[in-house]
Amino acid sequence: MPSTTTDSDGTQPGTGKRRAPLNRTTVVAVGRRLARDEGLTAVTLRRVAGELGVTAMALYRHVGDKRELLVAMLDEVAEELVIPDGAGSPSDRLVLAFRALHDHLTAEPWVAEVLRGGELFGPRAARFVEHVLALLAEAGLDDEQAADAYWALWWYTFGHLSYLPALGPEARPARRELMTRVGMDDHPRLARLLSRPPHAGAAEDLFVPGLRALLRGLLAD
């Protein structure tokens, strides 16, 4: 049986795949594409290597393990975030900042899944946190109040992002089936609420009003 050989970068001859330049940038790009298109479970070093036409061992020069790959993916997303800082009150600029964050992460739904674990984050996200804390200080909050306000704003945004997949059409049949088990005659207000089920567009429309309401409470004298 003929032996299988690889070149110095771990390329598998005869695969028919056109190999992209193998570096950290291309590895991260493939990881992000897989996460967006197929979900986080698709992001393994073996799968990324296969997409690049190399062996998994070849990736270790660029990312040490899956954890490092996920951090690099998060860091790239954080770097791409454009933080607006126009004129207006601190409250108005906080709305702009969190709306920008929300819109940015909506396009990368896997990020919320990674962050839900509580351990990993992109180090370059620090500039967003610093920006928000500066605005909260400008609004008159001391360090402790600003920290509490930051977490409240982040949890609100993160919760919204985390629930968006549940509003997609693929989740509706199972949700409708479960609702048939609820005795609606005993829950008239719930019945009225469910007669107007949420959808992703409505959730998007409600994000900023909810954010403004939260800020009014946080920044109240």
Q: Is residue 71 within 8 Å of 120, Cβ to Cβ?
A: yes
pLDDT of residue 128: 96
pLDDT of residue 220: 84
Tokens of 155: 């949890």
Sign of dihedral through CA atoms 129, 200, 120, 148?
Answer: positive
DSSP code at position 180:
T
pLDDT digits over 55-90, tens only? 989 988 899 899 999 999 999 999 999 999 878 999
Q: Please choose, from the candidates 142, 163, 143, 165, the residue with its C-alpha nearest in 3D space to the C-alpha of residue 210.
A: 163
The torsion angles phi and psi of 11, rounded to 5 degrees, stand at -65, 135
Calpha distance 178→66 (Å, rounded): 36
Calpha distance 40→42 (Å, rounded): 5
Tokens of 23: 């570096």
pLDDT of residue 171: 52
pLDDT of residue 11: 47
Q: Which residues contact 166 (CB under 8 A, 6 or more apart)?
A: 175
pLDDT of residue 152: 97
Tokens of 124: 């370059």
pLDDT of residue 182: 72
pLDDT of residue 193: 73
- Kindly give the parts of the chain with pLDDT less than 50: 1-13, 15
Tokens of 196: 């107007």
b/e 94-107 (16+ beta carbons within 10 angstroms → b)? bbbbbebbbebbbe
